[in-house]
Structure 1
Amino acid sequence: MSLGVIMLVHTAFDRAEQMVRHWADAGCPVVVHVDSNVPATIYDQFVGSLVDLPDVRFCTRHRCEWGTWGLVAASQEAATLLLEEFPELRHVFLASGACLPLRPVAELRSYLDARPDTDFIESATTADVPWTVGGLDRERFTLRFPFAWKKHRRLFDVFVRLQQLVGYKRRIPDGVVPHMGSQWWCLTRQTLDAILRDPNRSTYDAYFRKVWIPDESYYQTLTRLHARKVESRSLTLAKFDYQGKPHIFFDDHAELLQRSRSFVARKIWRDASLLFSTFPQSQDPLRLADEPNSGTVDRVFAQAVDRRTLGRQGLFMQSRFPSIDRQTSIAAAPFAVLQGLDDVFPDFQSWLTQQTGAVVHGHLYAKDRAHFADESEVFRGGISDNARLRDYNGKMFLTNLIWSGRDRHHCFQFGPADTQEIRWTLAKDTQASIWVVSGAWAIPLFCSGRSASDVRAEAARLQRIEDKFLKVLRSPDARARIKIMTLAQFIEAPMAVLQTIIDEIAGHRGNAIKEVPKMRDLTGLPDFLQDLKNQGMHPFLTGDIAFGNTQVTKSVPRRKPYVISQK
């Protein structure tokens, strides 16, 4: 009889009775604590159902509310009774009515017998781990928490805020270094007895009574004062989600729990009949020395958290929709945004389609309508070209467009004359490649034949809009692949830029440019820009365009690489 069990119970008494009998049948004495909130009739019935077990005891009841001292008081009461009644114990295991042994108790006892002086308790300082959820880590040890967070949340928050405003800080008892960890521990008799009989226990209890969630810090801290050897891990498999709530294991987790090789798991759904009939597994001598390995479970649950919080790219669900901005991408597949290139090359859309085989749209966010690649009124997936419908939620318009055609690479034109509400979405999307030729809006104005004085106001408006877009793209929050060049820089060497765009869009299917897109005749553009300056409008986004760099540059065919084989 080297292992004793403390069991905390507050609900699902049929399953709790089953677990008590399992521990007792394996030769483990059990002390049960039942929450004082449980009605006396249910408590008496539960006690009566276990009266035939000689090594089962029931301790004095405490009110156990989440995050309060009652949980620690309950374990103290049960531990004191267990150590007094059963002096031959070497280890004490803390469990709950929702815990389920996965391996035979004999294997757990053998594992502990091989480590008689080792305490198994997750214990780490708040400075070393980012486990805390809710914004309080070190402060949970320096402030007072007289109100229960779940029942009196408003009072809890107000009282915490008041202490922060006045700069109040509690004094941590001498020699105590606060540690945190899972509340499910397995301690040696010597360590647990030393904690309960510590001459400073009244000081420690008074301090931890007003600590937030003391069951995750009381034993974790005091074990460091008395233990001879601590392994900072729990022998109980317990997983928590990104909000700090415990994961519940269901029947479909059976294979996962089996692979974990853990001794005990919580929290088990009370109606998971398959789990309760499958576990604990039968004893296997070849498995006797197996170490618990929760790595597989950790990976699966990490993936589940990512799917729960981030979802699949391009898809959204109701529960995640309010937190949509925490995603790094909204599109289901890579896409390209091209600004200014269709101003330089009038037939750019059809030329890029021919070069890459991608779906090259026109201005999807034009003021009049969405210009799809095929100029249809309804695109694949039933997406309308109606500007009013599109602008109702421009982000979801793009999401649906990419999702509906995610088997192809999509490109679309964008510019300062388009609706701009989408710009932050584009800049933050890691799926986006954005190519901007700034100041290209000056070319349509120049080609319109109107004088600089007539287009001055329009040029100033377009430049202001584009400048805001460029500031968004240069923001530290922008995650897209972004390339910005002035009109002057682009027309000096357009072929290199076009080849890079083709290589990125087409990937391994990209070829060297054979057919050059026809550039607009820019003769006279430098004079036009000078006239704008003379009118008081400075087109700084175009760059310094001189007469020489408005000439069309002939392409130089790119040589294909070749390999000389050695025989």
Structure 2
Amino acid sequence: MSLGFVMLCHEALDRAAQVARHWSERGCPIVIHVDARASAHDYDAFREALSDRDNILFCRRFRCEWGRFSLVQSAQAASEMMLKNFPDVRHVFLASGSCLPLRPVDELVCYLGAHAQTDFIESATTKDVPWTTGGLDRERFTLRFPFSWKRQRRLFDGYVRLQRRLNLRRRIPEGVTPHMGSQWWCLTRETLEAILSHPRRTEFDRYFARVWIPDESYFQSLVRLVSDRVESRSLTLSKFDFQGKPHVFYDDHLQLLRRSDCFVARKAWPRAERLYAAFLSGEHDAANRAEPHPGKIDRIFSKATERRTSGRAGLYMTGRFPRKNHDNRLTAARYVVFEGFGDLFAGFPDWVQRSAGLRAHGHLFAPERAEFAGGLPVFSGALSDNARLRDYNPEMFLTNLIWNTRGERQSFLFGPRDTPAPGRFFPRDPNADVFCVTGAWAVPLFTSKRPFTDLRAEAARLQKIENAHLADLRNPATKARVRIWTMADLVENPAEPLRTVSEEASLTVAQNPAEVPKMVDLTGFGAFLQQLRNAGMHPYLIGDFPGDPPNGTSP
């Protein structure tokens, strides 16, 4: 047989025995390394389960630890035994105890026969690929790492800082260019012998013994010294998440693994009964000569990573609350905010619903209650109009409303009287369309008939609130689509802003509105503004409003 397997095992030894037997029964010799940390009972049971197979051997055991040279030593010891005891082996395939064969051994043997002089090992220089996640890249080769990252984290980090401070650097062995890649490789006999019997092996081993995570760089670097037929890819399907941790394959990944056309996958869940039954049954489709193509499923893994890190736009869960200011849409769908229009135009929400096809609410964040469309006390998703419940977390109230009504665009009125928190929230949301008329808060004060002393204090308060809100709307970091008019500009020419609202907020083909909403009677409003000025309160956000409204501005 031209193919032999080296297996590195440390847990779930019953599954490793099942895979080893599968390969052994198909004529492939196996050399197994079992982590010295595994119990004597489990190790003895493992050996006993495979004692009837004369082409399965066990090598010297090392106590292995992630990121340490012991993982390289285990691969070296098992490979040396493979080369010594099985002279007919032409390719050596490194696998783990959690690896699962996805295609028949005969197909792998045929594939390697067609690439008889090729070494399959992922091998790339650190400057060319951004693979390292949350760790060191070039420094892992120039600093010393005598301490365990997992067991001695404080010593590990402290020693790294000390070496940086003292500008200590290691000398990389002459002729060696550090490369990195997947731990799982398939090398020709000639290449593996050249690495293990290299005259400078002692020097290389001494150097890599203090490299961080040497199992991803030892063979990957040395293969470049001894081989000129390197195919920089692994024949093992091994996927990693955004934290650098390997993906685990479960029963529901069965069809996904079949589509990959890869020969081996790592790592399979030990209790994935359906996976092991399907791939170790010996029953396979007709010969598959397809090239291994993990790229077929890369899109799915990329989507999973995006979903894991960013979630779904507008969906907030207790299990994964989005990071603040993360570059993602804060809500699930587009919506429209009207500021000031409801104060100037009677029945404005009804006009919006008729002309733009939106679900038009009143002031959702009014102090008294949430004014849902149609006066409903409870809206989609069991959202209550109770102001106290809403104001416990008003931003989440808005995101829930948008999430619960996906497929129907919502709109609502907003102003300085309302709960202020949403006014800091929706300017950061790319889904928001904001149409703002500044100073319109003065109209309800003008028509309220309250004592002037109260109106003057309230006008100053509302103007201060709106001015702060306008700073959020005009901030360069604002992601909402914002249109702003002063009240004086709108009163002078109301048709233009209303046409803009109809065109930009409408769900249907934009047309000039057949009707316009009725503006409130502003007779005497100019005198009211002058009275505010005389009292020392300057309503500058209203704009240059004339003493009397122009004729025809109150249709």
Alignment TM-score, normalising by the size of structure 2: 0.88
Deviations 1:175-216 (A, max 9, x none): 443332221111222332333233443343333323332222
Question: Which amino acid is 2:433 matched to?
Answer: S
The corresponding residue for 1:113 is 113
What is the distance in 2 between the residues matched to 1:488 and 1:139?
64
Which range moves more in the overlay, 79-88 or 151-160? Answer: 151-160
What is the distance in 2 between the residues matched to 1:43 and 1:415?
72
What is the distance in 2 between the residues matched to 1:346 and 1:498?
14
The corresponding residue for 2:247 is 247
What is the distance in 1 between the residues matched to 2:470 and 2:120?
56
**Aligned counterparts, 1:232-311, within 5 A:** 232-280=232-280, 282=283, 286-288=287-289, 290-311=290-311
What is the distance in 2 between the residues matched to 1:123 and 1:438?
62
What is the distance in 1 between the residues matched to 2:286 and 2:354?
68
Deviations 1:500-525 (A, max 9, x none): 33344432265430111122455676
What is the distance in 2 between the residues matched to 1:302 and 1:229?
30
Maintained 8 Å contact 2:24/2:30: yes
Maintained 8 Å contact 2:526/2:549: no
Deviations 1:23-51 (A, max 9, x none): 22222222111101012232233223323
Distance apart, 1:93 and its partner CA: 0.9
Q: 1:126 to 1:478 in 2, by over 3 A?
A: farther
The corresponding residue for 1:362 is 362
Which range moves more in the overlay, 93-102 or 237-246? Answer: 237-246
Q: 1:534 to 1:184 in 2, by over 3 A?
A: farther
How high is the sequence identity, in percent, across the aligned residues? 54
What is the distance in 1 between the residues matched to 2:480 and 2:459?
27
Distance apart, 1:168 and its partner CA: 5.0
The corresponding residue for 1:559 is none
Distance apart, 1:453 and its partner CA: 8.7
Question: Which amino acid is 1:223 matched to?
Answer: V
The corresponding residue for 2:129 is 129
Deviations 1:151-180 (A, max 9, x none): 334444444455555655544444443332
The corresponding residue for 1:187 is 187
Q: 1:417 to 1:171 in 2, by over 3 A?
A: farther
Question: Which amino acid is 1:25 matched to?
Answer: E
What is the distance in 2 between the residues matched to 1:330 and 1:252?
31
Distance apart, 1:382 and its partner CA: 2.6
What is the distance in 2 between the residues matched to 1:526 and 1:143?
76
Q: 1:516 to 1:123 in 2, by over 3 A?
A: same
Q: 1:210 to 1:461 in 2, by over 3 A?
A: farther
Root mean square deviation, CA, Å: 3.2
Q: 1:138 to 1:445 in 2, by over 3 A?
A: farther
The corresponding residue for 2:40 is 40
**Aligned counterparts, 1:317-328, within 5 A:** 317-321=317-321, 323=323, 326=326, 328=328
Maintained 8 Å contact 1:32/1:57: yes
Maintained 8 Å contact 1:336/1:433: yes
Q: Give unmatched runs, 5+ long, in structure 2.
A: none
Alignment TM-score, normalising by the size of structure 1: 0.87
Q: 1:257 to 1:540 in 2, by over 3 A?
A: same
Which range moves more in the overlay, 63-72 or 187-196? Answer: 187-196
Which range moves more in the overlay, 297-306 or 61-70? Answer: 297-306
Q: 1:234 to 1:542 in 2, by over 3 A?
A: farther
What is the distance in 2 between the residues matched to 1:207 and 1:130?
24
Maintained 8 Å contact 2:316/2:322: no
Distance apart, 1:488 and its partner CA: 4.7
The corresponding residue for 1:473 is 473
Which range moves more in the overlay, 140-149 or 343-352? Answer: 140-149
SS, match of residue 31 in structure 1: strand
What is the distance in 2 between the residues matched to 1:128 and 1:536?
67
SS, match of residue 374 in structure 1: helix
What is the distance in 1 between the residues matched to 2:463 and 2:258?
64
Q: Give unmatched runs, 5+ long, in structure 1.
A: 556-567
Question: Which amino acid is 2:395 matched to?
Answer: K
Maintained 8 Å contact 1:195/1:222: yes
The corresponding residue for 1:54 is 54
Q: 1:277 to 1:380 in 2, by over 3 A?
A: closer
Maintained 8 Å contact 1:126/1:137: yes
Maintained 8 Å contact 1:117/1:228: no
Q: 1:197 to 1:535 in 2, by over 3 A?
A: farther
Q: 1:40 to 1:363 in 2, by over 3 A?
A: same
Question: Which amino acid is 2:81 matched to?
Answer: L
Aligned: 1:390 with 2:390: yes
Distance apart, 1:551 and its partner CA: 5.9
Maintained 8 Å contact 1:453/1:532: no
